[in-house]
C-alpha cells in the first residue's frame, strides 16, 4: 500500500469527485467542506483552491488554506485535510486550523490519525506554532484522532445547540 499526500490537480479530478460522491451517496456532509464544490464544478474549484493558498488572492471573508488528499495507490482518495494558515473569529470557535474527513468506506482504519500526523509538520512550515482543532463532542472518533496526535482539550463551547470541543496541539 502506497499512501501519499497530494494537492488537487486535473490528474486526480475523477478521484476527488468519487471521494466527494461517496459522502453524498451516504447522505453525509462532505468533510472538509472546502472540497464539496469539487463535485459540482471541479475546474472552478481547482482555480479557487489555488487562490485560497495565498493571502493576496484569498477571498476577504475566508482564510488562506492548503488542501491535501491522502491517496492510496494510483487512484483512490482515502481522505482530505484542510490546513488554514491562521484563525479568524469563527475558526477560533469552530473549525480551527485543521479540518479533515475520511470517506465513509475507509473509516476506523487509522487514516484520520495518519493524515493529521502528516499535516502537522506542514502547519508548522506555515508558521503555526500551536494548532487548534475542533470537533463535535459526540464525534468520539475525531476526538481520539486529535488526542492521538497530542491534542489537549482546552474547553467545550455551545454553538448552535451543539457542544464543540476545542483542542490544541503544540507544534
- What are 32's three cell numbers? 472538509
32-54 pLDDT per residue, tens: 888 888 888 888 888 888 888 88
User: What is residue 1's predicted lDDT score, i.e. its pLDDT?
Assistant: 61
Q: CB–CB of 146/110 below 8 Å?
A: no
Say which DSSP state 60 is in.
T
62-99 pLDDT per residue, tens: 899 999 999 997 779 999 999 999 999 999 999 999 99
Q: CB–CB of 19/77 below 8 Å?
A: yes
Q: How far apart are CA 138 and CA 132, in angstroms?
A: 18
Amino acid at each position: 500500500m502506497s499512501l501519499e499526500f497530494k494537492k488537487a490537480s486535473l490528474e486526480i479530478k475523477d478521484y476527488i469527485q468519487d471521494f466527494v460522491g461517496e459522502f453524498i451517496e451516504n447522505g453525509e456532509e462532505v468533510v472538509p467542506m472546502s472540497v464539496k464544490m469539487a463535485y459540482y464544478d471541479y475546474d472552478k474549484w481547482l482555480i479557487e483552491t489555488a487562490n485560497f493558498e495565498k493571502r493576496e488572492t484569498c477571498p476577504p471573508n475566508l482564510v488562506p488554506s492548503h488542501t491535501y488528499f491522502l491517496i492510496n495507490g494510483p487512484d483512490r482518495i482515502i481522505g482530505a485535510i484542510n490546513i488554514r494558515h491562521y484563525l479568524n473569529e469563527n475558526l477560533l470557535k469552530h473549525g480551527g486550523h485543521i479540518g479533515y474527513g475520511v470517506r465513509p468506506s475507509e473509516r476506523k482504519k487509522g487514516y484520520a490519525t495518519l493524515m493529521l500526523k502528516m499535516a502537522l509538520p506542514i502547519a508548522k512550515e506555515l508558521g503555526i506554532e500551536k494548532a487548534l482543532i475542533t470537533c463535535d463532542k459526540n464525534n468520539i472518533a475525531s476526538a481520539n484522532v486529535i488526542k492521538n496526535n497530542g491534542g489537549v482539550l482546552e474547553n467545550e463551547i455551545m454553538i448552535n445547540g451543539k457542544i464543540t470541543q476545542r483542542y490544541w496541539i503544540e507544534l
